[in-house]
Structures are given as structure tokens and as C-alpha cells.
């Protein structure tokens, strides 16, 4: 594990934790590498939420389990975090916020910090600004930049609000400077300018880069953020946004948009996607493209609606009745959240199939830094043709892809039907035509594999132990391999989890020991490797309590099987 400091803020909903996180991450990113994530209860106010901000002088992509600096904003905050507190943890909070017996048990040190008392002169609502200043003081962050951030954040309110926030920040900053010895991470010299964003924004950017100009969704966390992101881009990118009456309508609207030549997106989570399944089949039968972003959270049913899991891979792979091709992308970092989402629109358009972007709460709600990337402009090219008289929407072709016309573009008639149909789109009950059409649709698999999103091998190419991961386990596994002294270990990051290309087999043939790490209870990717590639996994490391894997935790669990 890389040397780092983990700062955890713990309080209830409504105390401004998200605002502090945004301020701190933006400020820290100017001088260090930073990764932040959050653990949120499913309630509007109250409860106990935490934000963890991990700071390092090397690139990091994940959070760790143990806490170095803990800031308690309410009396209920400590008990839920006891297992993550060590004797090296330094706690700040109001007097009495932690029972003496608890402190003695965990051997952590406690420092009194009452931000509400410090905020009395300005008002209780400024307590979070004081805490922002206090932490910035400990880290000796650039004060001028922090004050400028506050000005930009509140400039649309009033000069008084800006001035009062800046005064509150300064009070905290000066108090925090008394504890600078608690922070010993070296700052970066001439740090490269990196973009700070979260996974939600990355998926949204990728959608725009892929030419998305329509989104229809019914809100369901954690997928809703992409809907609101695109709603803010309506004017800049000419995107039509529709909050549908339910998920079934949302995906049917998206399919309708593609039918008329648009590039539509539906964003949802597992529960919402379950409702969309019939529409997925409609996309498969009519060969109308669609793109769906599935943001996983623990199920079944409502499950843990604000926590994370990777348990909807099977749902995405097998969604819909009948047999038809589809693609499932699973980005694990910010760069791939942009690039794979962009690619999803191109693949859907080219092969006329449903394409799913499978993320999860942890990836979407975590903030990190991203280097500049190059977008592929060819992904904006569509495969729509101008139709002529006698046009056959479902013309039988060798590769299974029929020329796709849209209504009003050309002289041909574009007929589609959810019943089985002939080449012209006319309903048929011919057994012979049924087989021809089913085979035509399934022939697209070969083309989809030609467009396979390459997996990435991280670590020594001369490995004998191969760790396999997908989606948001990328960060912890990458850090494990980068810091592990055993050069015989490598990490295979699978970005396209369906269909799987047989060339992946070469990675597995080299390994004596194959370990798959997943945030689910049954090893869904490991099972898919067996079905698709006949790969037998030696060990599955699984976690399904609603939390992501942590870097220190995954290292311990991997050591148990190595």
C-alpha cells in the first residue's frame, strides 16, 4: 500500500459534508494526489454519513480502511467507525463525543474541536467552513486558493456571505496550523494539471463525447447523477432531457429516439433496469440500438440503496427474453468511464444492438484526478444510410448487420416490428425465415468481438499469479500490484465483460494461480469466464456487505490465498 493519509469526516446528512469534500478535494489536488469517497445512509437528514479523503504523493485510485485523522461532527459518529480506528488514529470532536472507555479500548488519541462553538460569532451554518479551514490549516494548503474557491462558490449569493465564509475559513485555518505535525506527506513539485471529477461526471462526459443527444430516465440512485449532469448541458450540447413516468417508458423512449436517428441514453440502477428488461428485448428483436447506463447498488429489491455492489453483471448479460447479442462495458477508472461510454454509442450504432455501461455507486460517487485524454472522433460517425425504393430494413447479410435507414431520410419505407419479420420488416410465422433472422442477429457476435475493448495487464508480464478484476475494483488491485514486492503477480483489468474474446485465454494459460476479486457473493465474472472461455478460477475473493474493497483490506485477503 502506498504511503498516504486518510482523513475521514463523519456527521449526519445536512451538515455540509459534501461541500467540505468538494472544497478539500479541489484544494488538495493542487498539491497532492487525492482520492475521496463517501458512505451515505439512505435518508434525507440525520443518520451518519462519512467522507474519506485519501492524500498521497503518488497516484492513488482507491480508499483505505483504516483512518488516520477522524473528524466527528455528531455524537453518533464514532461507534459506527470503531473497527476502522487504530491506535494511530487522531480524533477531533466535541468534548464527550467519544466515551472514555471506547478511546481506551482502541488506544486512539482525542483532541477537542467544537466547530459549532467556533462558529457562534458567524452562525451555526458556517461550522463546515471552519472545519474546511481547520483541515486546510493542518495540511498547510494554499490559503489564497482556498479563499478564492469560497468566493467562486458563493459569488452568486452576496458579498456578505462570501466575506463571512472567508472569515470562518480563516478562523479554522489558524486553529489547524497548531497540528501541522499530524500531516507528513510531501507535496508535489510542479504538479501536472489534472482534472478533478467524479465517476458520474465522467460517464456524463463520455455520453456527450459519444454524441448523446437524448436521455430519458426515471430517477434512481446512484444512476440519477448522469441524468442531472446532462440536464445541465442541455443548452451547451443540444441534449433533450426527459424524466419519464417510469423505467419502462424511459427505455422505450430511448429506443424510439434511436429509431429516428438520435443517440439516446437511459441511466438507472439495477432495480430500474429490471423493469426495462422487456424493452431490452424490443431493442434486440427490432435491431434498434440503445445505450443503458446501469449503476449497481446492492439488491435485491431496494437492498441498500446508497451503497455499492457488483451484483448486476448477470442481469446485464442475460436481460431480456430470447437470444440476441449485446455488449457490456465495465469501466474501472475515470478515463475509461469517459472512453467506454463514448464507445458504447458507436458500438450500439454500428451493430444495432443494446450496449450497457455497468458502473456502481463507489465508482460514480468517488472523486479523483484524471489526466488529459484523447477522444476518438470516429465514434461520432453514424451508420445510418439514405434509403431507396424497395429498402429492406432487415436485409440478410454475411455479418448480420443490415443497412439501417431511418424514417424520412430517403425514399424507402422503414418498417420495424417486434414480431418475427422478414427482410422487409413484415410479420412472418415462417419457420424458415425465423431461423434466418435469428441466425442473422446472432452473427453480429463476431463483429462485436472484433471491436472488443482490450483488457489491460498491470504488473510484470512474466507472472504466474493472475489477479482478475472488473469495474471499480480497478483501483485497489492496481495499487496492490504496484506495491507488491512479488514480481510474479499481475492484474488483468477486464473492461468489456461481455462478450468475452477468446484471446483473453492467453492471459489465463500463462497463470498457475488465477484469483478473481469481485464485489458480489457468487463470483459472477468468475462464472462467466468458465462459461465463455472455460477458464477455471483457483480463488474468488468476494465482498457483498455494501462497502467497496479497501486497499489494506484487499492486500490482506490476497495474502491469504497467495
Instruction: Tell me the CATH number at 171.
Output: 3.40.920.10
Query: DSSP class of residue 157?
Result: T
Q: Which three-class secondary structure string do you get for 496-528?
A: EEECCCHHHHHHHHHCCEEEEEECCCCCHHHHH
Q: Contact 91/108 with Cβ under 8 angstroms?
A: yes
Residues 375 and 390 in one domain: no
Residues 333 and 440 in one domain: no
Report which secondary-structure segment, H or E, holds 62: none
- Calpha distance 52→40 (Å, rounded): 11
Tens digit of pLDDT at every position of the chain (562 positions): 899 999 999 988 878 889 999 999 999 999 999 999 999 888 877 778 999 999 999 999 999 999 999 999 987 778 889 999 999 999 999 988 888 888 888 889 999 999 999 999 888 889 999 999 999 999 999 999 999 999 999 988 899 999 999 999 999 999 999 999 999 999 998 888 899 999 999 999 999 999 999 999 999 999 999 999 999 999 999 999 999 999 999 999 999 999 999 999 999 999 999 999 999 999 999 999 999 999 999 999 999 999 999 999 999 999 999 999 999 999 999 999 999 999 999 999 999 999 999 999 999 999 999 999 999 999 999 999 999 999 999 999 999 999 999 999 999 999 999 999 999 999 999 999 999 999 999 999 999 999 999 999 999 899 999 999 999 999 999 999 999 877 799 999 999 999 999 999 999 999 999 999 999 999 999 999 999 999 999 999 999 999 999 999 999 999 999 8
HSE-up of residue 480 (Cα within 13 Å, Cβ side): 29
Per-residue model confidence (pLDDT) at position 77? 78
Residues 437 and 466 in one domain: no
Domain stop point among 400, 432, 451: 451
Distances (CA, A) of 532 to 477, 501, 514, 527: 23, 8, 16, 9
Residues 280 and 405 in one domain: no
Residues 146 and 185 in one domain: yes
Total residues found in the chain within this entry: 562
Pseudo-torsion of CA 516, 519, 520, 521, nearest 10°?
Answer: 70
Residues 330 and 414 in one domain: no
- Calpha distance 389→168 (Å, rounded): 72
Report which secondary-structure segment, H or E, holds 195: strand 195-198
Per the structure, the count of domains in the chain is 4
| 199-209 and 224-231 helices, crossing angle to 10° | 60
- Calpha distance 272→295 (Å, rounded): 10
Residues 539 and 406 in one domain: no
Per-residue model confidence (pLDDT) at position 79? 83
Per-residue model confidence (pLDDT) at position 78? 85
Instruction: Tell me the CATH number at 369.
Output: 3.40.50.970
Q: Contact 470/497 with Cβ under 8 angstroms?
A: yes
Residues 364 and 477 in one domain: no
- Spatial CA neighbour of 270 closest among 324, 307, 322, 215: 307
Per-residue model confidence (pLDDT) at position 33? 97
Q: What are phi and psi of 500, to 5 degrees?
A: -95, 135
Residues 213 and 182 in one domain: no
Structural domain harbouring 236: 197-380
Residues 175 and 163 in one domain: yes
Domain stop point among 451, 479, 500: 451
Tell me the residue ranges of DSSP E strands in 306-459. Answer: 327-329, 354-360, 367-370, 384-387, 404-410, 456-459
Using a 10 angstrom Cβ sphere, with 0-12 exposed, 13-18 middle and 19 or more buried, the burial of residue 254 is: buried
- Calpha distance 116→180 (Å, rounded): 22
Ramachandran quadrant class, 187 (left: phi over 0; alpha: psi -120 to 50; beta: rest): beta
Residues 150 and 129 in one domain: yes
Residues 252 and 308 in one domain: yes
Rg (C-alpha) for the chain, rounded Å, is: 26
Q: Contact 451/350 with Cβ under 8 angstroms?
A: yes
Please give the model's pTM, rounded to 2 decimal places: 0.96
Domain stop point among 434, 451, 468: 451
- Calpha distance 53→68 (Å, rounded): 10
Amino acid at each position: 500500500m502506498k504511503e498516504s493519509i486518510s482523513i475521514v469526516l463523519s456527521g449526519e446528512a445536512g451538515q455540509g459534508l459534501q461541500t467540505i469534500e468538494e472544497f478539500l478535494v479541489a484544494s488538495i489536488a493542487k498539491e497532492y494526489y487525492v482520492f475521496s469517497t463517501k458512505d451515505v445512509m439512505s435518508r434525507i437528514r440525520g443518520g451518519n454519513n462519512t467522507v474519506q479523503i485519501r492524500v498521497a504523493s503518488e497516484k492513488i485510485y482507491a480508499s483505505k480502511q483504516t483512518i488516520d485523522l477522524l473528524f466527528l461532527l455528531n455524537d453518533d459518529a464514532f461507534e459506527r467507525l470503531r473497527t476502522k480506528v487504530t491506535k494511530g488514529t487522531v480524533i477531533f470532536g466535541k468534548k464527550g463525543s467519544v466515551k472514555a472507555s471506547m478511546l481506551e479500548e482502541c488506544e486512539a488519541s482525542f483532541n477537542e474541536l467544537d466547530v459549532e462553538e467556533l462558529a457562534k460569532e458567524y452562525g451555526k451554518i458556517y461550522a463546515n467552513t471552519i472545519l474546511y479551514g481547520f483541515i486546510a490549516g493542518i495540511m498547510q494548503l494554499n490559503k489564497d486558493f482556498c479563499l478564492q474557491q469560497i468566493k467562486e462558490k458563493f459569488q452568486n449569493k452576496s458579498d456578505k456571505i462570501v466575506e463571512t465564509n472567508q472569515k470562518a475559513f480563516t478562523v479554522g485555518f489558524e486553529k489547524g496550523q497548531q497540528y501541522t505535525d499530524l500531516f507528513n506527506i510531501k507535496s508535489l513539485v510542479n504538479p501536472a494539471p489534472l482534472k478533478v471529477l467524479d465517476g458520474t461526471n465522467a460517464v456524463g462526459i463520455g455520453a456527450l463525447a459519444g454524441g448523446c443527444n437524448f436521455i430519458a430516465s426515471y430517477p434512481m440512485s446512484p444512476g440519477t447523477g448522469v441524468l442531472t449532469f446532462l440536464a445541465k448541458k442541455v443548452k451547451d450540447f443540444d441534449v433533450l432531457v426527459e424524466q419519464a413516468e417510469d423505467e419502462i417508458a424511459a427505455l422505450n423512449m430511448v429506443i424510439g429516439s434511436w429509431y429516428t436517428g438520435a443517440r439516446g441514453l437511459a441511466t438507472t440502477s439495477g432495480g430500474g433496469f429490471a423493469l426495462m428488461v422487456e424493452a431490452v428485448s424490443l431493442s434486440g428483436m427490432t435491431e434498434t440500438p440503445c445505450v443503458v447506463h446501469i449503476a449497481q447498488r446492492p439488491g435485491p429489491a431496494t437492498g441498500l440503496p446508497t451503497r455499492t455492489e457488483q451484483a448486476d453483471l448477470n442481469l446485464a448479460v442475460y436481460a431480456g427474453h430470447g437470444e440476441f447479442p449485446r455488449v457490456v462495458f465495465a469501466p474501472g477508472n475515470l478515463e475509461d468511464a469517459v472512453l467506454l461510454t463514448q464507445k458504447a454509442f458507436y458500438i450500439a450504432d454500428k451493430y444495432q444492438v443494446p450496449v450497457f455501461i455497468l458502473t456502481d455507486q463507489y465508482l460514480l460517487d468517488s472523486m479523483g484526478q484524471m489526466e488529459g485524454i484523447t477522444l476518438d472522433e470516429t465514434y461520432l460517425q453514424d451508420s445510418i444510410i439514405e434509403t431507396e425504393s424497395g429498402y429492406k430494413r432487415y436485409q440478410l447479410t454475411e455479418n448480420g448487420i443490415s443497412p439501417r435507414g431511418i424514417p424520412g431520410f430517403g425514399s424507402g419505407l422503414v418498417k420495424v416490428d417486434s414480431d418475427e419479420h422478414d427482410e422487409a420488416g413484415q410479420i412472418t410465422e415462417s419457420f424458415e425465415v425465423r431461423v434466418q433472422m435469428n441466425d442473422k442477429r446472432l452473427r453480429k457476435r463476431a463483429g462485436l468481438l472484433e471491436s472488443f475493448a482490450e483488457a489491460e495487464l498491470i504488473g510484470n508480464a512474466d507472472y504466474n499469479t493472475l489477479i482478475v478484476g472488473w469495474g471499480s475494483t480497478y483501483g485497489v488491485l492496481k495499487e496492490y500490484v504496484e506495491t507488491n514486492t512479488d514480481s510474479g503477480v499481475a492484474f488483468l483489468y477486464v473492461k468489456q465483460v461481455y462478450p468475452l474474446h477468446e484471446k483473453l485465454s492467453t492471459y489465463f494459460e500463462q497463470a498457475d494461480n488465477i484469483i478473481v476479486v469481485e464485489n458480489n457473493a457468487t463470483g459472477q465474472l468468475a462464472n462467466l469466464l468458465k462459461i465463455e472461455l472455460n477458464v477455471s478460477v483457483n480463488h474468488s475473493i468476494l465482498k457483498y456487505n455494501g462497502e467497496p474493497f479497501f486497499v489494506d483490506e484487499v492486500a490482506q485477503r490476497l495474502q491469504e490465498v497467495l
